[in-house]
Structure 1
Amino acid sequence: LRCKDDVFTHLYTLIVKPDNTYEVKIDNKKVEGGNLDEDWDFLPPKKIKDPNAKKPDDWDEREKIDDVNEKKPEDWDKPEHIPDPDAKKP
């Protein structure tokens, strides 16, 4: 898209429609249009999943895994009761 290069003032208009199409007008004359997804790279290219890819046999599905070698600090204080923030206090 080239800008007009002369001594006159020009009106540039970009119209984006809900169906992801666009129009570019210069002085109310359509100079370009198309589909936003096809004409510009907004998202990275889509990838096709590899049908041969698979997880190893020893893959661990747990979201969190405890460290068996980890120890709590000596000054660790675990409260006996969890305070209720909704409880009414006198």
Structure 2
Amino acid sequence: LRCKDDVFTHLYTLIVRPDNTYEVKIDNKKVEGGNLDEDWDFLPPKKIKDPNAKKPDDWDEREKIDDVNDKKPEDWDKPEHIPDPDAKKP
């Protein structure tokens, strides 16, 4: 985008819309427009997946894995019934 280079004063207008499109006007005449994401480097470049990359054969797909060596603390108390503090006793 080039500025007007002459002896006159010019009105520069930038319109940015919610759908990420823009329009540049000089003296109310459109000189450029487009999509912000495509025309400007605001976002880092999108990554291209490596076609040669693969998971190891022993990769574990489980979301959570239990620790076999894990144990509850010695003072762990798990009552069979939870007492109701609002219950009225006869």
* TM-score, length-scaled by structure 2: 0.59
**Secondary structure, aligned partner of 2:37:** helix
The answer for the alignment partner of 1:49 in structure 2 is 49
1:61 Cα offset (Å): 0.8
- Measured against aligned partners, the alpha-carbon deviations of 1:16-52 in whole angstroms (never above 9, x if no partner) come to 2355320234664556533201222232211221122
Write the mapping of 1:1-90 to structure 2, written as runs, cut at 5 A.
13-17=13-17, 19-25=19-25, 28=28, 30=30, 32-81=32-81
Q: Which TM-score applies when normalising by structure 1?
A: 0.59
Q: How many corresponding residue pairs?
A: 90
- Give the distance between the partners of 1:8 and 1:87, measured in 2 at CA: 87
Larger deviation: 73-82 or 45-54?
73-82
Quick one: distance in 1 between partners of 2:61 and 2:35? 42
Gaps of 5+ in 2: none
Give, in angstroms, the shift of residue 53 of structure 1.
1.4
Percent identity for Structure 1 against Structure 2: 98
Larger mean Cα displacement after TM superposition, 47-56 or 23-32? 23-32
* Residue range with higher mean Cα deviation, 26-35 or 57-66: 26-35
Consecutive unaligned residues of structure 1, counting only runs of 5 or more, are none
SS at match of 1:34: strand
Distance (whole Å) between structure 2 residues aligned to residue 36 and residue 8 of structure 1: 29
- What is the alpha-carbon root mean square deviation over aligned residues? 4.9
